[in-house]
Amino acid sequence: MFRFRRFQTRLLVLFLALFTLTQAVALGFSNWAGRITAGTEIRNALEVSAGVFSSLLEERDTRLLQAAVLLADDFAFKSAYATRDGPTIESMLHNHGHRIGADIMYLLSLDSEVIASTLGEGEEAAAFIHPELLAAAQADPHGEATAIVLIDGEPFQLVVVPVLIPRHDAWVAMGFAVDDPFVAHFREVTQSHISLMVREETAWRPLASTLPAAERQALSDQLATNPGSPGSAFNLRLAGEDYVSLLYPLGMDDQRQLMAGMHRSLDAAMAPYARLQRILLVLMLLGLGLTAVGAVWVARRVSGPVRQLREGAVRIAEGDYRSRVHVRQRDELGALGRAFNRMAHGLEDRDRVRGLLGKVVSPAIAEELLSRDIELGGEEREVSILFADIVGFTALAERLPPSELLDFLNHYLTRLSGDIEANQGVIDKYIGDAVMAVFAAPLPDPYHASHAVAAALAMQQSMQALNMAEADGRPDLQLRVGINSGTAVAGNMGSADRLNYTVVGDAVNLASRLEGLTRRYGVPVIVSQATRDRAPQYLYRELDRVRVKGRKSPVSVHEPLMLEAMADADTLAELGLFAEALDAYRSRQWSQAAAGFSDILKRRDDPVAGLYLDIISRYRQQPPSENWDGSATLVTKSGDA
pLDDT in tens, 209-261: 888 888 888 887 777 777 777 878 788 888 888 888 888 888 877 677 888 88
Burial bucket for residue 488 (CB in 10 Å: 0-12, 13-18, 19+): buried
Q: What is 378-561's CATH topology?
A: Alpha-Beta Plaits (3.30.70)
Q: Report the distance separating Cα 6 and Cα 196, nearest Å.
A: 71
How high is the pLDDT of residue 356?
A: 45
Tell whether pTM > 0.75: no
Chain segment 144-154, per-residue pLDDT in tens: 989 888 888 88
Q: Report the distance separating Cα 600 and Cα 577, nearest Å.
A: 7
Mean pLDDT of 165-171: 86
Per-domain residue ranges of the chain:
1-212+220-297, 302-360, 378-561, 568-626
| Cβ 454 vs Cβ 384: under 8 Å | no
Q: Report the distance separating Cα 13 and Cα 561, nearest Å.
A: 69
The phi and psi torsions of 106 (rounded to 5 degrees) equal: -135, 150
Chain segment 86-136, per-residue pLDDT in tens: 788 888 888 888 888 888 988 888 888 888 888 865 445 567 888 888 888
Mean pLDDT of 542-563: 90
Chain segment 413-470, per-residue pLDDT in tens: 999 999 999 999 999 898 888 999 999 988 889 999 999 999 999 999 999 988 887 7
Measure the CA angle with vertex 496, ends 493 and 502; round to 5°. 15
Q: Which of 310, 311, 293, 301 is nearest to 15 (CA)?
A: 293
pLDDT confidence band for 321 (50 / 70 / 90)? low
Chain segment 497-517, per-residue pLDDT in tens: 566 778 999 999 999 999 999
How high is the pLDDT of residue 374?
A: 43
How many residues would you count in the chain? 641
Q: Return all residues near 498 (Cβ < 8 A) that are at least 6 apart.
A: none
DSSP 8-state assignment for residue 100 = H
Q: Report the distance separating Cα 566 and Cα 531, nearest Å.
A: 20
Per-residue pLDDT at 358 exceeds 60:
no
Per-residue pLDDT at 354 exceeds 60:
no
Chain segment 279-305, per-residue pLDDT in tens: 877 877 787 777 767 666 655 655 566
Out of 1.10.3470, 1.10.8, 1.10.287, 1.25.40, the CATH code matching 302-360 is: 1.10.8
How high is the pLDDT of residue 7?
A: 43
Mean pLDDT of 47-70: 87
- CATH C-level class of 1-212+220-297: alpha beta
Pairing mode, strands 632-633 and 538-547: parallel
CB neighbour burial string for 570-598, b if at least 16 within 10 angstroms, e if fewer: eeeebbebbebbbebbeeeebeebbebbe
Q: Report the distance separating Cα 204 and Cα 249, nearest Å.
A: 13
Share of the chain above pLDDT 70, in %: 84
Share of the chain above pLDDT 90, in %: 28
Q: Which of 224, 226, 258, 220 is nearest to 239 (CA)?
A: 220
